Amino acid sequence: MVPPVPEPPHSLHAAGLSRPAQEVLVSVIIPARNEEACLGACLQSLVAQRGVSFEIIVVNDASTDRTPAIGESFAGSSRYVKVVEAGPLPRGWTGKSHALAAGVTHARGAWLLFTDADTVHLPGSLATSLREAQEQGAALLSYSPEQEVHGFWEKAVMPVIFASSIVTIPQTVLYGLRDNRYFGSVIDALKWGEPLYTVLYAAGIIFFAYFYISIIFNPNEVADNMRKYGGFIPGIRPGKRTADHINEILTRMTLVGALYLIIISFIPEWMMVGIHLNHLFRPLGPFFEKLPNWILNGLNVNFYFGGTSLLIVVGVAMDTVNQIESQLIMRHYDGFTPKSGRIRGRRSW
């Protein structure tokens, strides 16, 4: 349980905090474990905030790189920043949750901002967020305004993230009405393993796969660039015909990719809780009751990775193997597994 946060001091400026525009202190808590690549940019964007009183607490969670040194360098040059240690991980806790709780024990603000070390905050965003929360009378405010994705697997998981976020909205909004006669059944139907949840989740992944690819890839632009530089597809006329051909191929590939994401996303769920086809309306429900128990109720496996995490783990493993392979080839070695030949990843041809 997170302990209560004490009231901010009456004189914030005297307490060594940023000069207040209003007598409200925001404690920014950043859990950091081996974040030397991005922590500096995050802190730089936060110390430059104006129009709000704040303190920044960097929670070092047993980092083995320069993360503590980067935090201390900002603490030495800015009175708004301090670095604390997360301490040993208690039993039953996860790393980031424990780091956040450790940061809260050092916080003095009436408002808490939990943010990752790989985020960059636009000028004035802290004051704007606080003002919106106060105007709306909100006790909790969550933002995800813009995400930058660069790697293949980062882009691949975006439809899954969007779909899961949309499916969980009704549960979050209607949670207070879970005992209601009408809304309770809706919340139950959107739980893990329920057919309605499965259908909406799968449909959401397909929709956002097409939506996301339509944003990041423009067939008309690709066709125009090919025509400008003298490129063409054999048997296809340049211009609109080429754009239509690219769009047709992209549509088929996106569907295959979306189905792959659906399967990977549902594997952990089906292993843990199964798919409750017997909860369908009559006469389908009783018909599916004849299915094996491992299909309806899962294998009762404690699987600690969700579908998104599984995709990220596989992607990182493949990229790591490819990088090791490239380094070994550059140094005239036979490769990572010389007896079986080169490992063919997604970038090998």
The predicted-structure confidence for 238-279, as pLDDT tens digits, reads as follows 888 999 999 999 999 999 999 988 988 888 888 888 888 888
In 3D space, the residue among 251, 273, 269 whose CA is nearest the CA of residue 206 turns out to be 251
pLDDT at 282 over 90: no
Round to whole Å and give the CA distance between 254 and 260. 10
Residue 22 or 295, more confident: 295
State how beta strands 81-85 and 53-60 pair.
parallel
pLDDT at 55 over 90: yes
Q: Which residue has the tokens 């066709």?
A: 223
Alpha helices by DSSP H, listed for the chain, are: 39-47, 67-77, 95-104, 125-136, 152-156, 158-173, 183-189, 195-216, 219-228, 240-272, 284-288, 293-296, 307-330
Mean pLDDT confidence for 173-187:
74
Report the pLDDT value the prediction gives residue 254, as an integer from 0 to 100. 92
Q: How confident is the model at residue 334 (pLDDT cuts 50, 70, 90)?
A: low
Most confident of 158-162, 207-211, 299-303: 207-211
pLDDT at 31 over 90: yes
pLDDT at 20 over 50: no
Which phi and psi (to 5°) does residue 82 adopt? Answer: -145, 150
> What is the percent of the chain where pLDDT is above 90?
30
Most confident of 55-59, 139-143, 315-319: 55-59
Round to whole Å and give the CA distance between 326 and 7. 55
Q: What is the mean pLDDT of the chain?
A: 80
Which phi and psi (to 5°) does residue 206 adopt? Answer: -65, -45
CA distances from 253 to 89, 98, 221 (A): 44, 42, 19
pLDDT digits (tens, 9 = 90+) for 288-303: 887 888 888 878 777 6
pLDDT at 305 over 90: no
pLDDT at 7 over 50: no
Side by side, the strands of the sheet bearing 53-60 are 81-85, 53-60, 25-32, 111-114
Round to whole Å and give the CA distance between 250 and 217. 9
Which structure tokens are listed for 307?
């579908």
Report the pLDDT value the prediction gives residue 56, as an integer from 0 to 100. 96
Report all structural domains of the chain as residue ranges with CATH numbers, in order of start: 25-136 (3.90.550.10), 153-303 (no CATH)
Please answer whether residues 45 and 122 qualify as being in contact, where contact means their C-beta atoms are separated by less than 8 angstroms.
yes
pLDDT at 115 over 70: yes
Mean pLDDT confidence for 19-37:
81
3 state SS of 28: strand
- As beta bridge partners, residue 29 has 57, 114
